[in-house]
Chains A and B, each alone.
Chain A
Amino acid sequence: MTVRLHKLINRPEDLVDEMLQGFCAAYADIARCGDNRLVMRARPKARGKVGLVMGSGSGHEPAMLGWVGEGLFDVVVAGEVFAAPGPENMLAGIRAADRGGGVLVCVSHHAGDLLNAELALELCELEGIDNVEMVLLYDDISSAPKGREAERRGTAGLFFVWKLLGAYCEGDVSLAAAKALAEKVRDNTRSLAVSLSSCASPVTGQAMFEMGADEMEIGMGLHGEKGLGRQKALSADETIDLMLPPLLEDLPYRAGDEVLVLLNNSGSLTLMELFILYRHAAARLAEAGIDVYRCWIGPYATSFEMAGFALALCRVDAQLKALWDAPANGAYMKQL
């Protein structure tokens, strides 16, 4: 399958900074850019509350820029394309997120994100900044088997952590409680992705990997990581029927459970396709006796023009449902 190689950018070395400038110009009422590639709330939350910060490689927009705002992140630190930001920029992010109630550094589990967060925490210790905690988040069931959940990658399902944790940290909660809430959401969340095409790097102008025109791969990561193997591309209903059973078995989600559902567009799928996919997913969930509390369909974590989607579920109780319904105002996550 051919991948569009020509990107409408200027110099590749400027693309992250120019993207941030454009984003912050467009959404100045919500977010502002700072030094060290920080994206911060236009209006910081009240003093004494727990601050939320996350480092995020660029190239997954609207993640994570679009999740800075009220009821969501305080600060997002942007990295190079598909590379987590370095420890000094993370340290700047931690300082900017500090409202006096402690800072929770959220790490989507990838080698670079974890290493740089750990190094940033070392810098905090050297500089005498305490009351900083890190929480490691993961959700992709294809990246490690059941029983080895902590080895799994962080992918689209972390969407639920950001929304629910963001709402939680608007309240008067402790840093330890915030971390526990993040872990609770993580431990009720599972996701699985499928890809039908590669994508092109704006840095090199080359396709990131090769994929046949009639192939798909279930479980492929956001950076082309291997999933459960290549196979012939299927129809929408067949694809859902391959993806949903392993997802349901993994937690497991059972009859009587209530869930949030995310259908994340990895890049170039159409909304028409996503609605057709959701139609069948919703029918299968209903057959399994699982109640959909809310769903969200659209581009959250993308990989340029990759054709594919992730299906993620989060089991919710009364507390998590209330947090979902709490207000949020990020550029790409609104809850009224």
Chain B
Amino acid sequence: MTRIGATELQELIAALAARVGAERDRLNRLDAALGDGDHGTSISTAFEVAVIDIAALDEPSLSAIWLATAKALMNRMGGASGAIFGIFFLRGASLLRERDSLDKAEMAALLAAGLAGVKARGKAQVGDKTMVDALEPAVTAFARADDFSAAWSAAAEAARAGAESTRDLVARQGRAKFLGERAIGYIDPGAMTVALMFAAVHEWWRLTRHQ
């Protein structure tokens, strides 16, 4: 498998949704320390909606799948998290127009476009205790690897380490920035969600494509 087509992209979103849904309560508990305590519920609900909306697409093209995911996150989740996670998919969707499959380099470009959109809109950098702390190292690790298998594996590990690094940080963006030093000792729930998303994709790839 050297290309990802619409069927695979749909599977990828379903894998993300399943993993985030399974970890809903854990994400809620992380968010309880830094926010309202409902991040797991809201993002898992939005991903469930994305899966349903994608299944209902007349023409499930790559861009339609990515756009449906963006819209579900932005409109069903709302708030800063819904906007930021939504922008990750929204900014990539235009790259997918008129493509019917992606090779590894094109996938890297898709992830990079999403990251650039998130950083531009959210005004967050690595070290601000946001999802960027997991996303940027994952996107970088993905781009450096030679093929899909190595790339998903490296990205999952980089996202995990990135999320873990937020534990010792003071937040500089988002509502948690108003917690000051009270935020130290807790992993950012957005960064953890990114780590779970990459872990889910890595596992999906390993189980279904690597043979």
A-B contact pairs, 17 of them (CB 8 A): A57-B78, A79-B78, A80-B42, A82-B79, A84-B79, A86-B78, A87-B74, A89-B75, A112-B82, A115-B83, A119-B74, A119-B121, A153-B178, A204-B38, A208-B32, A221-B178, A226-B182
- Top 4 nearest A-B pairs (CB, nearest first) are A83-B79, A225-B178, A112-B80, A86-B75
Measured between C-beta atoms, what is the minimum distance from A305 to chain B in Å? Answer: 15
Q: Are B182 and A208 in contact (CB under 8 A)?
A: no
Q: Are A83 and B82 in contact (CB under 8 A)?
A: yes
User: How far apart are the CA atoms of A82 and B37 in the complex, in Å?
Assistant: 11
A interface with B by C-beta (< 8 Å): 12-13, 57, 79-89, 110-112, 115-116, 118-119, 143, 153, 201, 203-204, 206, 208-209, 221, 223, 225-226
Contact with A along B125-137 (1 / 0, CB 8 A): 0000000000000
Asked if B180 CB lies within 8 Å of chain A CBs, one says yes
Measured between C-beta atoms, what is the minimum distance from A198 to chain B in Å? Answer: 11
- A226 touches which one: B45, B87, B178 (CB < 8 A)? B178
- Chain B residues positioned under 8 Å from A204 (CB to CB): 28, 32, 36-38, 41
Contact with A along B56-69 (1 / 0, CB 8 A): 00000000000000
- Give the size range of B's interface with the partner: 20 to 34
Q: Are B37 and A86 in contact (CB under 8 A)?
A: no
Asked if B202 CB lies within 8 Å of chain A CBs, one says no
**Those of B70-120 within 8 Å (CB) of chain A:** 71, 74-84, 86-87
Nearest residue, chain B, Cβ from A203 = B38
Known: A83-B81, A84-B78, A86-B77. 15 other contacts (CB 8 A): A79-B78, A82-B79, A84-B80, A87-B75, A87-B83, A88-B74, A89-B75, A110-B80, A119-B87, A201-B36, A204-B32, A206-B28, A208-B32, A225-B178, A226-B182
Q: A201-B38, A206-B32, A223-B36 are in contact. Are A85 and B78 (CB under 8 A)?
A: yes
- Chain A residues positioned under 8 Å from B80 (CB to CB): 83-84, 110-112, 115
Q: Are B36 and A119 in contact (CB under 8 A)?
A: no
Asked if B174 CB lies within 8 Å of chain A CBs, one says yes
- Chain B residues positioned under 8 Å from A111 (CB to CB): 80, 122, 173-175
User: How far apart are the CA atoms of A204 and B182 in the complex, in Å?
Assistant: 22
Q: Are A225 and B179 in contact (CB under 8 A)?
A: yes
Measured between C-beta atoms, what is the minimum distance from A82 to chain B in Å? Answer: 5
Q: Are A83 and B78 in contact (CB under 8 A)?
A: yes
User: How far apart are the CA atoms of A291 and B47 in the complex, in Å?
Assistant: 54
Q: Are A83 and B45 in contact (CB under 8 A)?
A: no
Interface centre among B41, B174, B178 (most CB of A within 10 A): B178
Q: Are B175 and A225 in contact (CB under 8 A)?
A: yes
Q: A86-B75, A88-B74, A116-B83 are in contact. Are A81 and B173 (CB under 8 A)?
A: no
Q: Are A13 and B45 in contact (CB under 8 A)?
A: yes
- Chain A residues positioned under 8 Å from B122 (CB to CB): 111, 115
Q: Are A110 and B78 in contact (CB under 8 A)?
A: no
Nearest residue, chain A, Cβ from B40 = A204
Nearest residue, chain A, Cβ from B86 = A86
User: How far apart are the CA atoms of A276 and B74 in the complex, in Å?
Assistant: 44
Q: Are B83 and A112 in contact (CB under 8 A)?
A: yes
Measured between C-beta atoms, what is the minimum distance from A148 to chain B in Å? Answer: 13
Measured between C-beta atoms, what is the minimum distance from B108 to chain A in Å? Answer: 25
Measured between C-beta atoms, what is the minimum distance from A309 to chain B in Å? Answer: 19
User: How far apart are the CA atoms of A203 and B45 in the complex, in Å?
Assistant: 12
- Chain A residues positioned under 8 Å from B86 (CB to CB): 86
Q: A87-B74, A88-B74, A203-B41 are in contact. Are A57 and B79 (CB under 8 A)?
A: yes
Nearest residue, chain A, Cβ from B181 = A226
Q: A80-B78, A226-B180 are in contact. Are A115 and B38 (CB under 8 A)?
A: no
